[in-house]
Structure 1
């Protein structure tokens, strides 16, 4: 048994001495003053591809030329001034017919282009058919509008309501500022 106690005692002393060495290292490491955090940060050079970079006039011109090469029309940014129309634009006729007919509980079911204007086939809630004829063109605008409803054109009151609603919508759409109807811009030449 004595031999066993000797082994246990030596083993305990060796373990304690190792633990003591580890404790002393930790104590020394804990007592040293650390370097400031700011000193440990790595400093990087400035961003060379910043989005806030101001272009020189030569670089700016190169960018403008590159953008201009992708378009086929000259002065596309400055095309035409926005204008309103008190009598209505020809480009608004279809939309005015569709919206105007809805307001009086009718629907546009077809549109036909004629030499002197447009003809719209109308369907009412009673399943009566009729037509709205708009005379004019893009150069002159809307000259006149007339409607006939019913098998023999007998629904004159409803037809007049359709025409009035059409003109009302044409006037409302004309109040929206849009580009003037000018001839197309000529293609750019270099």
Structure 2
């Protein structure tokens, strides 16, 4: 009797283990295959483009080959003084070129202030004056506890300005893109 009871218990456990193993080995359906729309979703997953929208998408894809204007409404222009939109990127790349790093960015009423960290753990800051309408007006840097690393600060400003000039040579749209409301 003990042998039958043990066999029954073991067989039940075996069935449970086999079920768990099979359930654990099955892969869930990819989320992309499920076109389920949840109540918090902002838009339907199914939308048919109008012919104008379709043409705009085709123009955008074609423009990646020829590097022309995506929506044919905004002229691409270079900037000799530096675009305000390029300031953060110029600060990051420019500081990297002189073996420093941007660790923080602060928006100020008259521009931006970046906290800089050097290889030997000295902190400093790069202050860029200007705004999106006027562009970059000036840049200055201080490095060291008392601002004593003037040579390195000058190298940082020169690297920032050089990088800003390089980024300004890239043709980009001269104004904000038009925003069209989605229609159903």
Q: What TM-score bracket applies, with the shorter chain setting the length?
A: 0.5 to 0.7
CA contact (8 A) 1:122 1:129 kept: yes
Separation of aligned partners in 2, 1:135 and 1:55: 44
**Structure-2 change in CA distance of 1:111 and 1:38 (3 Å):** closer
CA contact (8 A) 1:84 1:178 kept: yes
Separation of aligned partners in 2, 1:32 and 1:108: 46
Gaps of 5+ in 2: none
1:30-179 counterparts in 2 under 5 A? Answer: 77-179=71-173
Separation of aligned partners in 1, 2:179 and 2:25: 82
Q: Deviations over 1:16-62 (max 9, x none)?
A: 99999999999999999999999999999999999999999999999
**Structure-2 change in CA distance of 1:184 and 1:159 (3 Å):** farther
Separation of aligned partners in 2, 1:13 and 1:109: 66
The offset of 1:65, in angstroms, is 15
**Structure-2 change in CA distance of 1:124 and 1:179 (3 Å):** same
Which has more radius of gyration?
1
Q: Give the superposed CA RMSD.
A: 16.0
The offset of 1:78, in angstroms, is 2.3
Aligned length: 184
**Structure-2 change in CA distance of 1:8 and 1:94 (3 Å):** closer
Gaps of 5+ in 1: 1-6
CA contact (8 A) 1:73 1:188 kept: no
Separation of aligned partners in 2, 1:153 and 1:27: 65
Separation of aligned partners in 2, 1:101 and 1:171: 14
Separation of aligned partners in 2, 1:128 and 1:183: 41
**Structure-2 change in CA distance of 1:18 and 1:138 (3 Å):** closer
SS of 1:40 mapped into structure 2 = coil
CA contact (8 A) 1:131 1:147 kept: yes
| Length-normalised TM-score, structure 1 | 0.58
